[in-house]
Amino acid sequence: MDNRPTGKCGRRAVDAAIIAVILLGGLSTGGLLPAWLGRAVWLLLAAGCWLWLAAGVWRKLTMRRRGWLVFWSYAAAGCAAAWAVRTGMEEMSAWQRFDRVCSAVLLAGVIIAIVYNIIYKNKPNMRKKIVAGNWKMNTLPAEGVELAENIRANRNQVCSCVNFIVCPPFTHLGGVIEALRSSDIEVGAQNCAAEDKGAYTGEVSAAMLAALGCRYVILGHSERRQYYGETSATLNKKMAQAFANGLQPIYCVGENLEEREAGRHFDVVKTQIEEVIYNLTPAQFARTVIAYEPVWAIGTGKTATAEQAQEIHAYIRTILREKFGAAADETPILYGGSCKPSNAPELFAKEDVDGGLIGGAALKAADFLAIGKGFPQK
C-alpha cells in the first residue's frame, strides 16, 4: 500500500512540518551551545534545509526552469548579502558579520526554494494515460473489425482522459482504421520494416502503415527479439523509419525469467534503453512511449507485483532522465505483463506506471475497456 500523502495540502503540510522542525531545531539547539557553535549548527541546518528543498523540486523542473531556479537563488542571495552588509555592521566583529551575511543568504535561498516547491513539486502528473491493445496474431479481419466496433460503441464508459490504442495484425489495419474513424481511439501496428522500400519479401514499411492511417507502431517486443532475432542495431533502423513517417513508437524493454532470477533485470533494461533510446533526438524522444514487459509474465498468467512494477518503472525513468533530463518525467511508461481488469487499479495507482500494453485482455472489448477504468480517480 502506498502511504504517501495523496493530496497537495497533505504533502505541503508534511513539507512545512519538516522545514519547521529543521529550522526551529537549529535555533533551539543553538541556544544550548556556546554562541559560536550554536550559530554554526544553525547555519549548517539552514544550508541542509535549502539543499533538501532544492533537491526535492529539481527533478520536476525542465532545464529552463532549473536555470531560473539557479538564477533567482543567486539573485536573492546577492540582494540578501547586500542588505546585510549595508545595515548596522560597523560595530560587529568579523565573525558576527560573517554570520549575518550567511544567515541572510541562506534565508533567501530557503524562501526561493519554498516558492518553487509550492509551485512545482506537487504539480500533478500530466503524463498521458494509455491503454494499448496488442492483438498479436489473433482474430480474422472480420472479427477484428467487430472487436474494434464493440470497443468504439462502449468507449464512453471510460474517462476521456484515457487514451486507447489498438494494434491489430497487418491484414486488419484498413478495416479497423475505417471502423474507428472519427473516434478518439488510435490505431497502431505491431511492427514495421527496417528499410523504407525495396526487395524485402514479406515486409511492411513504416510509410505503408502511415499511408493507411496508423499513428503508432510497437517496436522491440520481446517476441520479436526472441523469435526473430531483432537486435538493437535493427531496432535503431526501425525507430528511424517510424519517425521519418510520422509514427510514434511504443518501444518495449524487459527481462526474461533467467535474467530476473539472476538479478540482472536492471542491467538488461538499461542496456536496451541505452542502445536505442539514447540515440534519439530530444524531439524524437518526446514522441516515444516506453513499455516495460517482464517476459516471464507474458502469457503465463504470472504478474509482477505492483511494487515490482513501480520499482522497475522508476528505474527506467531515472535512466531516461540521465540522458534527457526533465523530459523523462513527461514520457509515458506502460506495464506490459498480463495486465487485466482485476490488477489494473493496483498497477495504475503507482506513480510511474502510466498505463498498460495489453495482450490477451485486449481481445475482449469489455475487458479492454475495464482496464481503462483502472486509473485512479482524481
The pTM score is 0.72
- Whether 345 and 229 map to the same domain: the answer is yes
Residue 99 lies in a domain: yes
- Whether 311 and 205 map to the same domain: the answer is yes
Q: What is the pLDDT of residues 291-315, one digit of tens each?
A: 999 988 776 666 689 999 999 999 9
Q: What is the pLDDT of residues 301-355, one digit of tens each?
A: 666 899 999 999 999 999 999 999 889 999 999 999 889 999 999 999 999 999 9
How confident is the model over 12-25, as a mean pLDDT?
53
Residue 313 appears among annotated catalytic residues: no
Among candidate residues 223, 255, 259, 293, the one labeled active-site is 293
Residue 2 lies in a domain: no
Of 104-108, 155-159, 211-215, 218-222, minimum mean pLDDT range = 104-108
Residue 192 lies in a domain: yes
- Whether 19 and 133 map to the same domain: the answer is no
- Whether 194 and 252 map to the same domain: the answer is yes
How confident is the model over 141-164, as a mean pLDDT?
97
Number of domain units in the chain = 2
- Whether 220 and 200 map to the same domain: the answer is yes
pLDDT at position 39 is: 60
- Whether 220 and 349 map to the same domain: the answer is yes
Last residue of a domain, one of 103, 121, 139: 121
- Whether 87 and 203 map to the same domain: the answer is no
Boundaries of domain holding 93: 8-121
pLDDT over threshold 60, residue 116? yes
pLDDT over threshold 50, residue 8? no
User: Which grid coordinates are listed for 100?
Assistant: 549575518
Among candidate residues 221, 223, 230, 313, the one labeled active-site is 221
- Whether 24 and 108 map to the same domain: the answer is yes
- Whether 228 and 106 map to the same domain: the answer is no
pLDDT over threshold 60, residue 24? no
CATH number at residue 311: 3.20.20.70
- Whether 152 and 58 map to the same domain: the answer is no
pLDDT over threshold 70, residue 99? no
Residue 1 lies in a domain: no
Residue 313 lies in a domain: yes
Last residue of a domain, one of 80, 101, 121: 121
Residue 203 appears among annotated catalytic residues: no
Residue 196 lies in a domain: yes
pLDDT over threshold 50, residue 151? yes
Mean pLDDT of the chain: 84
- Whether 64 and 168 map to the same domain: the answer is no
Residue 21 lies in a domain: yes
Residue 3 lies in a domain: no
- Whether 269 and 366 map to the same domain: the answer is yes
Q: What is the pLDDT of residues 57-90, one digit of tens each?
A: 666 666 667 777 777 777 777 787 777 666 666 6
Last residue of a domain, one of 75, 93, 121: 121
Q: What is the pLDDT of residues 182-238, one digit of tens each?
A: 999 999 999 999 999 999 999 999 999 999 999 999 999 999 999 999 999 999 999
Considering only residues 198 and 97, tell me which one the structure prediction assigns the higher pLDDT: 198
Q: What is the pLDDT of residues 356-366, one digit of tens each?
A: 999 999 999 99
pLDDT at position 92 is: 67
